[in-house]
Amino acid sequence: MSQRTDIAAAKNWSERALKLIDEQGLPPEPDVYAVWYAYATGQKADLNKEIDQRLSSGSPIDAHTASDLRRRYVAEKDLSELALESGSRLSSEVDKILKLVEATSGDNSEFGNSVREASQGLTSQSTPNEVHSAVEAIVEATRSMEMRSQLLEKRLQQTKAEITELRDNLDQARSEARTDGLTGVANRKAFDEVISREIKRAEKEDGSLALLIGDIDFFKKFNDTYGHRTGDQVLRLVASCLKGGARENDTVARYGGEEFAVIMPDITAEAAENIANEIRETVMGRELVKRSTGETLGRVTMSIGVGIFRRGDAPSALIERADACLYAAKDGGRNQVISEANPPEDLRKLAG
């Protein structure tokens, strides 16, 4: 299949996906679009079968269901394959450039030979006709070289535009592969990469590092009482508070379900605990309103545990201590921050 055919097919699938999304009355969010685009392509038989069954039985496919379907059928593997495809095409374009440069080198050599051949027989005794013929040959060789140079420039400009597009596609694919589709913060894969990198950096540079792990209090109650759409709204609200409260060089991630994490390099234990409390207070200060009805649903709270990096830590060790502090905060009444730098009695052994 040619690239032009690929583009035409992708356009048709995209138009069909958007039409299906509109028919279902859904917002064109990343998870929703990914699922219906995959459905439109017909390349995932199990996904199409489940969607068809849901539609025939009258079961709604809301944003939460779409998120679940994407997780099960349109995995990050697909995004990785997109990145690999873009990378492969990028490599192909680079090969084209190298071949063009090689061809130009050959053209330059041919031009030099033509000039030498034309002028080889000229001497101070050459007749005007001989000089004229040599000049004409050199002019002709120059024109030919100029045309080839213009053609090369045109091809290079086209290739440059293609590479720019491919690079943008590759960057987008990489970003999507590391981003949580619902909340817009980093996903678990990105979290694992960053925590490993920051621990290595802190170990090498004898630096500091803190890890916040937070959990939304009574999140299941929101889902069971008000539905998954409201639950998604709560997750987005908390993610927004975390991004607003974190520093520029911190990494906010959705750790799993209703759990979030913030990786904080170059920070003291006291400063990390203060920021955690500011985030907790910001979350508590937001009043939740059901968008569809304007109904006030109360306030959301969250519990946060703060782990502090120790030399020799593996990522799992730091995560385990931050997690233990989180569960101590929940067991102690929720809506609070507990740091291993100031642990309750039953956690002192972790700080020892």
CB atoms within 10 A of CB 239: 19
DSSP-derived secondary structure for 245-265: HS-TT-EEEEEETTEEEEEEE
Question: How far is residue 144's CA from residue 121's CA, in Å, rounded to a whole number?
Answer: 22
Question: How far is residue 301's CA from residue 257's CA, in Å, rounded to a whole number?
Answer: 16
Residue in the structure block whose two tokens are 């540079």 = 205
CA angle 222, 225, 230 (to 5 degrees): 50
Which DSSP helix (H) or strand (E) runs through 296? strand 296-299
DSSP-derived secondary structure for 202-243: HHHHT--EEEEEEEETTHHHHHHHH-HHHHHHHHHHHHHHHH
Q: Out of 50, 198, 258, 340, which one is annotated catalytic?
A: 258
Annotated catalytic, 93? no
Strand duo 287-289 + 296-299: pairing:
antiparallel
Active-site amino acid positions = 258
